[in-house]
Structure 1
Amino acid sequence: MARTRVRIASLVALTSAALTLVTGCGGDDTGSPSKAKGDHGKAGDHGKHGGHGGHGEHGDKPVVVVTTTWEGAFAEAAGAEDVKVIVPQSVHHAPDYDPKPSDLAAVASADFVLYAPFEPYAAKIKEAAGSEAKLVEVDLDNDPGKVKAEVGRLGALFGTADAAAKWKTGFDTEYAKLSKDVRAAWPGGTAPTAVAQVFTTWSAGLAGATTVGTYGPEAVTPAQLAGLSAKKPALVLDNAHMSTGAVLPDSGAKQVEIVNYPGEDLDLLGVYRDAAAQLKKAMGAS
């Protein structure tokens, strides 16, 4: 019991110091649509499994612990079926989350712990729990090419390459459909111009928009704002997780809040569906 208390205290301290980095690229979810799901895979819920040495009760199915729903969605897309999310999607400010003993227990019995480069506390989570899990850095970017590359890589690590390949085929089909739908909503049939926050440029690709400038993640200076406004963009693709309000309030551009993080269902495609709906709305389509 004393050992557990030490680990929890260590993790709480690390949380307040470093979890702020999660919100830097969207450490919470502000409204990505989700579909109903069973008990497994929800943020804050644990799959029932044994030790990490033999992939738990699932035999060749790995037990995967992830820091946020974004990594969780990548893991499920790659074929993982036993996924535990450390920071619940309901936590809008990650440093406020108080890790529970059950979080440490989940890490201790995992086969893999997934984290992003901007989440240095992940290694400390593993260390605090005494886990022998393989620590895997994930390139969190919703650019289609990068998504498929990461899903394929994770599938190879998990031993679920077939499931990953099947997901990628479905992703290509759904993405093409959504992109075609958004492009059909172009005002006057012409591709719109857009300014995008650096973590939302993928949504410009989904819309077929021409990106004329980017901003962030640092605070935008008055000179940068003037330069972006001069480009007369039709759209501003803001990061919902880092928004500071209207980016170009006097430019006439329509601002779209793009959500990067999936919901509790860990459905990565839900992020693209939400973005497509928001883009169509901004372009005046129903």
Structure 2
Amino acid sequence: MARTRGRITPLLALTLAAGLTLTATACGGDSDASDGAKSSGGAGGPVVVATTTWEGAFAKAAGAKDVEVIVPSSAQHAPDYDPKPSDLAAVAKADFVLYAPFEPYAEQIKEAAGSDAELVEEKLDNDPAKVKAEVTRLGKLFGTETAAAKWNKSFDAEYAALRKDLEKAWLDGKAPTAVAQVYSAWSAKMAGARIVGTYGPEAVTAKQLSDLSKKKPALVLDNVHMSTGKVLPDSGARQVGIVNYPAQDLDLLAVYRNAARAVEKAMKASA
């Protein structure tokens, strides 16, 4: 059951709308107002507003049924999105507002939330152990521990199956070597790859590129949300675009399935 909460007054809501003349400028995003805050549906339980589908997917996995997302999934680089006044007003009905510290609009979200919603800072990471810990933490906050535990169990089964399938795709039964963008290293771990180097999130220097090329990786696991194009163009490595953000359906498991398919395709192409 959602906890008792206050609401942002009509005057404050009007002030927000008048004072925040923001436009959607997401990289690859959509400025249509209908692409703003969207709900996953459902009734009962806590009302959760999440800045992106990544936070929203964690909330859904933890058992929240009423989840609204501010940044549309069409935004290629979510931190570049500028929330609209209508987006910020969505927090008025929230029990919890989930955000990440690297999002530049986090302060706007916190100001809009006022004292009505409980602000929850998330450390977004698709590493399996961190995902399960975060889902467990949110389940305790939401009062949905049973649902969170059930999801973690299904995650374990899905992840084990994906990893087993990926191992079958190893060339000559040997784990591939990989260079990974720091926020895509989880996909190398899932594939059982041996990480010989990482790069990012800062711009890659010429020396770093030279050093990474010398490692002769079979795979380059790039982060599509922060991609700078072909990372090691002359190395012979196959580059794979890894997507961290779930789609609007907030299915976090789909992120792992999609990454597994992409990595498996690259490994088979290298055979």
TM-score by length of 1: 0.82
**Whole-angstrom CA distance in 1 between matches of 2:46 and 2:184:** 31
1:31-46 paired onto structure 2 within 5 Å: 44-46=37-39
Q: Is the 8 A contact 2:50 2:70 kept in 1?
A: yes
**Whole-angstrom CA distance in 2 between matches of 1:124 and 1:100:** 10
Q: Which amino acid aligns with 1:8?
A: A
Superposed displacement of residue 91, structure 1: 2.8
**Whole-angstrom CA distance in 1 between matches of 2:89 and 2:83:** 15
Residue 102 (structure 2) aligns with: 118
Superposed displacement of residue 2, structure 1: 6.5
Match of 2:174 among 169, 176, 190: 190
**Whole-angstrom CA distance in 2 between matches of 1:106 and 1:48:** 15
Q: Name stretches of at least 5 consecutive residues in structure 1 with no aligned partner.
A: 29-41, 50-56
Superposed displacement of residue 176, structure 1: 0.1
Q: Is the 8 A contact 2:46 2:95 kept in 1?
A: yes
Identity percentage over the alignment? 64
Superposed displacement of residue 48, structure 1: 7.6
- C-alpha offsets along residues 166-224 of structure 1, whole Å, 9 cap, x if unaligned? 00000000000001001100011100000000000000110000000000011101000
Residue 82 (structure 1) aligns with: 66
Higher RCO (C-alpha 8 Å, min separation 6): 1
**Whole-angstrom CA distance in 2 between matches of 1:198 and 1:280:** 20
Residue 241 (structure 2) aligns with: 257
Do the aligned partners of residues 46 and 208 (structure 1) sit closer, same or farther apart at CA in structure 2, a change above 3 Å counting? closer
**Whole-angstrom CA distance in 2 between matches of 1:275 and 1:90:** 18
Q: Secondary structure at the match of 2:38?
A: coil
Residue 171 (structure 1) aligns with: 155
Match of 1:141 among 125, 129, 134: 125
Residue 32 (structure 1) aligns with: none
Do the aligned partners of residues 104 and 165 (structure 1) sit closer, same or farther apart at CA in structure 2, a change above 3 Å counting? same
Superposed displacement of residue 121, structure 1: 2.3
- C-alpha offsets along residues 123-166 of structure 1, whole Å, 9 cap, x if unaligned? 42232354510000111000000000000000000000000000
**Whole-angstrom CA distance in 1 between matches of 2:200 and 2:176:** 21
Q: Secondary structure at the match of 1:219?
A: coil
Q: Which amino acid aligns with 2:119?
A: L
Superposed displacement of residue 12, structure 1: 4.4
**Whole-angstrom CA distance in 1 between matches of 2:40 and 2:89:** 12
Superposed displacement of residue 43, structure 1: 6.7
Q: Give the total of aligned pairs.
A: 255
Residue 195 (structure 2) aligns with: 211
Q: Is the 8 A contact 1:71 1:138 kept in 2?
A: yes
Residue 184 (structure 2) aligns with: 200
Residue 73 (structure 1) aligns with: 57
Q: Is the 8 A contact 1:246 1:255 kept in 2?
A: yes
Q: Which amino acid aligns with 2:15?
A: V
Q: Which amino acid aligns with 2:126?
A: N
TM-score by length of 2: 0.86
Residue 217 (structure 2) aligns with: 233
Q: Is the 8 A contact 2:13 2:89 kept in 1?
A: no
Q: Is the 8 A contact 1:7 1:129 kept in 2?
A: no
2:108 is equivalent to residue 99 of structure 1: no
Q: Is the 8 A contact 1:238 1:255 kept in 2?
A: yes
Q: Is the 8 A contact 1:8 1:128 kept in 2?
A: no
**Whole-angstrom CA distance in 1 between matches of 2:265 and 2:41:** 42
RMSD: 2.6
Do the aligned partners of residues 150 and 208 (structure 1) sit closer, same or farther apart at CA in structure 2, a change above 3 Å counting? same
**Whole-angstrom CA distance in 1 between matches of 2:167 and 2:127:** 17
Match of 1:271 among 236, 240, 255: 255
Q: Is the 8 A contact 1:123 1:135 kept in 2?
A: no
Q: Is the 8 A contact 1:43 1:69 kept in 2?
A: no
